[in-house]
Amino acid sequence: MRRRAVGTADASLRKRDDRFPRARPHVRPGTGRCPRSRAAGPTSAVPLPEKAPGAPVSADVSRPAPSLEDHAALLRRMSGLLAAPLGSDRAEAEALLVRIARLAVPLLGDFCAIDLIDERGAVRRAACVHVDAAREELARAAQLDHAIPASAAPAAVAEAMARAAQRDLFPRIGAVAWVVAPMVARDRVLGTLTLAITEPGRALADADRLLADALASQVAVALDHAALSRQAGVDRSAAEAAMRARDDFLSTLSHELRSPLNAVYGWATMLDRGQLDPAQSRHAFQVILRNVSTQVRLIDDLLEVSRVASGKVRLFVQPVDLEAVVQDAIESIRPAADAKGIRVQSVLASPGGPISGDRDRLQQVVWNLLGNAVKFTPKDGRVQVRLQRVRSQVEIVVSDTGQGIEPTLLPHVFDRFRQGEGGSGRPHGGLGLGLALVRSLVELHGGTVAARSAGVGAGATFVVRLPVMLAASTEPAPGDDADRNGARPAAGEQSLAGLRVLVVDDDPTAVELTRAFLVRAGADARGCLSGVEALETLRRWRPDVLLSDVEMPGLDGYTLVRQVRALDAGDGGRTPAVAVSAYSLPDNRVRSLRAGFNMHVSKPVEPGELIAIVASLAGRVGS
């Protein structure tokens, strides 16, 4: 099926050359002025003058028709030009298209144009060549203000381009016959190649039109290859940047995890060797606890990012007093600010009542912003927190007098693993996750967060905007507190006297540590290093509560609790069970509950929290 559009402006040329094509439906044969058809419509031609203004043409000019050898030589030269890639530089590519157009003129016609169509349908003329330099300038001045639908078929594109040329281009150059061939690659029209005759002594033969189709196909393939090459370069650069970011992140992660481990290992070694006096021992314990807390926070941030990325973060929506949330976050960050001599100022206006949201997540947002401000503010600096109602929104504004943000970094400040400094000389620690979590959590609440900074040394301001909503009156569902990090019963002095607790873990150190917590609280605690041993002990000893790891060789924790639930009640089949695992994603909790555990606790677990959970499952609430 032909996809090109052809036309003539003078049917009398057919008398001179029987090969001249019969006029297409969109062009009515005429005597040079092309009278309008009675059925003139969108595809009707406009009248074309015999001569272009200011560019007279002799009617007796005649050139012999190109031979097959001429066509073959042209194809060889075209193939040689297109064998080399067009390149990624636009000027270089268009220069090559101009050379191709010049090869086509005057062998295939007096005029050749190559028009490119982008993804939006906009048309741009990449090459324009005429045998007459004056008429070439007239052609360059032709308007290209039309657009082509991106989904248009090749034949429709050729027709549309032909109609546009008849309006403005062909009258300028005095075209008497033409062909518009679409350039198609991978089912997409990349543009058109237009050939025109402007001298009455010439005609377009079938061979010329076929050659125009072949030339348009070759140019389309070359353009497509160039586009693929450019996209491959972009993809390669993006992949290389991603690999560099991954390597930088792994290097940073290693540093951030090893640094607290070094302090823990060093002080623990000195404690083990008895090299410290009582005062130094207390200091060692404080350092160890502080660094372990740092590691736990880093790991929690990584897991939180994973939950956000997978869309598995759950919000426990309830009425929230935002002023109290901000106050609690300020008190949490104040020791770090005091250590650097940073003044933390608060200007808290009542937002007009509670808002609907997740209190813990909102406190995490404010804490991360404040922690970031204290981290990047030098000694004796200032951090200010403002809470205010702005029309239908509540704003939390955190500003500081710190080092500011570089303009190039500002658009990426909320990206994951993105930090303002890199390499071994970076003055601040962290994984670059805090602000990414802030944005994700704020957006989950239907709000927005933005960053402003006048540049390096000018401080930074972060603005959180949350919609004002009617506070929900519902309370969290029973069991939610036990299923959520940071919302379990508070640690307290609680007695487990008289309770039997069975601890199961393939790690002897973990068993020893957990037994120590429980025995100190008064429980009778026994340990097992395998699921098989635990099952036998449970039948024989009948504990009040079972604490089990889930990932163990042989009989794992999931299988263990299923087999326990298969026992009769008199054999311990209803023993309350707690999964104690290093896996803390929501899917892990769901799997534990479905297997038969009553609760899922993530390692590391606070001793007081573990004692409170055991007491609760054993029915000692409030004791």
Compute the average pLDDT of residues 583-606: 86
Q: How many Cα atoms are found within 13 Å in the side-chain-facing hemisphere of 219?
A: 31
Give a yes or no: residue 240 inside a domain: no
Q: Residue 77's pLDDT is what?
A: 82
- The model's confidence at residue 150, banded by pLDDT at 50, 70 and 90, is low
Cα 80 off chain centre by: 42
Gap between the Cα atoms of 557 and 546, Å rounded:
11
Give a yes or no: residue 533 inside a domain: yes
Q: Residue 187's pLDDT is what?
A: 86
Q: How far is CA 95 from CA 132, 235, 266, in A?
A: 19, 26, 68
Q: Kindly compute the dihedral angle of the four CA atoms of residues 304, 306, 309, 315, in this order, to the nearest 10 degrees.
A: -40
Winning range, highest mean pLDDT, from 53-67, 346-360, 374-388: 374-388
Residue 529 DSSP class: S
Q: Under DSSP, is residue 613 helix (H, G, I), strand (E, B) or coil? A: helix
Q: What is the pLDDT of residues 266-296, one digit of tens each?
A: 888 889 888 889 998 998 898 888 888 878 8
- The model's confidence at residue 420, banded by pLDDT at 50, 70 and 90, is low
Same domain assignment for residues 396 and 496: no
Nearest CA-CA partner of 321 in 383, 394, 381, 405: 394
Which of 17-26, 100-109, 111-120, 191-200 has the least mean pLDDT? Answer: 17-26
Same domain assignment for residues 419 and 452: yes
Same domain assignment for residues 281 and 353: no
User: What's the whole-number average pLDDT of the chain?
Assistant: 78
Is pLDDT of 120 > 50?
yes
Which of 131-140, 309-318, 523-532 has the least mean pLDDT? Answer: 309-318
Q: At what angle do helices 557-565 and 586-595 cross, to 10 degrees?
A: 30
Strands (E), 285-359: 318-320, 343-348, 355-357
Is pLDDT of 22 > 50?
no
Give a yes or no: residue 42 inside a domain: yes
Burial class, 130, CB count within 10 angstroms (exposed 0-12 / middle 13-18 / buried 19+): buried
Output 373 or 55, whichever has higher pLDDT. 373
368, two tokens:
């991360």
Same domain assignment for residues 185 and 50: yes
What is the count of structural domains for the chain?
Answer: 4
Q: What is the pLDDT of residues 74-95, one digit of tens each?
A: 778 877 777 766 655 667 777 8
Task: For the chain, give the percent of residues with pLDDT over 90.
Answer: 23
CA 388-391-395 angle, to 5 degrees, is: 30
Output 366 or 265, whichever has higher pLDDT. 366
Same domain assignment for residues 177 and 296: no
Which of 434, 467, 500 is the endpoint of a domain? 467
578, two tokens:
């707690």
Q: What is the pLDDT of residues 450-494, one digit of tens each?
A: 999 988 888 999 999 988 754 444 444 443 443 344 333 334 457
Q: For residue 593, give the CATH number of its domain.
A: 3.40.50.2300
Same domain assignment for residues 392 and 422: yes
Q: Residue 401's pLDDT is what?
A: 92
Task: Determine how β-strand 545-548 pairs with β-strand 577-581.
Answer: parallel
Domain residues for the domain of 539 are 492-617
Q: For residue 448, give the CATH number of its domain.
A: 3.30.565.10
Give a yes or no: residue 480 inside a domain: no
- The model's confidence at residue 64, banded by pLDDT at 50, 70 and 90, is low
Q: Residue 516's pLDDT is what?
A: 87
468, two tokens:
């004002």
Give a yes or no: residue 430 inside a domain: yes
| Unique residue bearing structure tokens 């040079």 | 32
Output 42 or 199, whichever has higher pLDDT. 199
End-to-end C-alpha distance for the chain, whole angstroms? 88
- The model's confidence at residue 44, banded by pLDDT at 50, 70 and 90, is very low
Compute the average pLDDT of residues 528-557: 93
Nearest CA-CA partner of 396 in 362, 435, 372: 362
